[in-house]
């Protein structure tokens, strides 16, 4: 039988026995609403309650990064892509934790600006332009 040749750039070393590690991932999400204590996001991947996360708001809303935890997640619908494949669409609630006074001030300013600008067609408006409705959430 022919030997399979290793095609990796470096040799991998096996780990003896099970070993737990932490990994971080970044998901693109749609910011659905925002409050002084949390946010609701829409996304295509299941997020479990208790999962720590970092919410980075789009630059047009303000330079703000908030840590939090997923408090609930539910199936919100089904998404069909261009190939006809069907995917579940989720909505999750994030509760912010350990918000510093400086970050709370920036968040309050963002919420005030959004309230003053109002909404048009269900989408957030900032400075007369449609704000990006997506942000990044890092989960670990």
Would 5 be classed as within a structural domain? no
Domain that holds residue 76: 31-111
Q: Give residue 6's pLDDT band: very low, low, confident or very high (50, 70, 90).
A: low
* Cα separation values, 33 from 14, 19, 37, 93, 140, Å: 45, 38, 11, 10, 22
Q: Which residue has the tokens 């909505």?
A: 91
pLDDT of residue 39: 93
pLDDT digits (tens, 9 = 90+) for 38-96: 999 999 888 999 999 998 888 888 788 999 999 999 999 998 889 999 999 999 999 99
Would 116 be classed as within a structural domain? no
Among 17-26, 36-45, 62-71, 126-135, the least confident range: 126-135
CB 76 within 8 A of CB 42: yes
The structural domain count of the chain equals 1
Would 64 be classed as within a structural domain? yes
Contacts of 15 (CB under 8 A, 6+ apart): none
Would 121 be classed as within a structural domain? no
What is the CATH number for 87? 2.40.10.220
Would 8 be classed as within a structural domain? no
Distance between CA atoms of residues 84 and 54, nearest Å: 32
Contacts of 29 (CB under 8 A, 6+ apart): 41, 42, 43, 134, 135, 136, 137
Higher model confidence: residue 12 or residue 104? Answer: 104
Would 107 be classed as within a structural domain? yes
Would 119 be classed as within a structural domain? no
Residue 109 sits at φ, ψ, to 5 deg, of -65, -40
Q: What angle do CA 39, 115, 73 make, to 5 degrees?
A: 15
Would 138 be classed as within a structural domain? no
Q: Which residue has the tokens 């990796």?
A: 8
């Amino acid at each position: 039988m022919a030997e399979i040749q290793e095609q990796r750039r470096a040799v991998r070393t096996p780990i003896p026995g099970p070993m737990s590690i932490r990994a971080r991932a970044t998901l693109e999400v749609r910011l659905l609403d925002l409050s002084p204590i949390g946010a609701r996001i829409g996304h295509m991947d299941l997020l479990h309650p208790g999962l720590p996360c970092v919410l980075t708001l789009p630059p047009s809303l303000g330079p703000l990064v908030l840590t939090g935890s997923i408090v609930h997640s539910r199936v919100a619908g089904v998404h069909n892509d261009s190939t006809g494949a069907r995917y579940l669409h989720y909505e999750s609630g994030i509760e912010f934790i350990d918000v510093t006074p400086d970050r709370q001030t920036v968040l309050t300013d963002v919420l005030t600006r959004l309230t003053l600008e109002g909404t048009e067609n269900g989408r957030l408006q900032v400075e007369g332009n449609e704000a990006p409705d997506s942000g990044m959430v890092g989960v670990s």
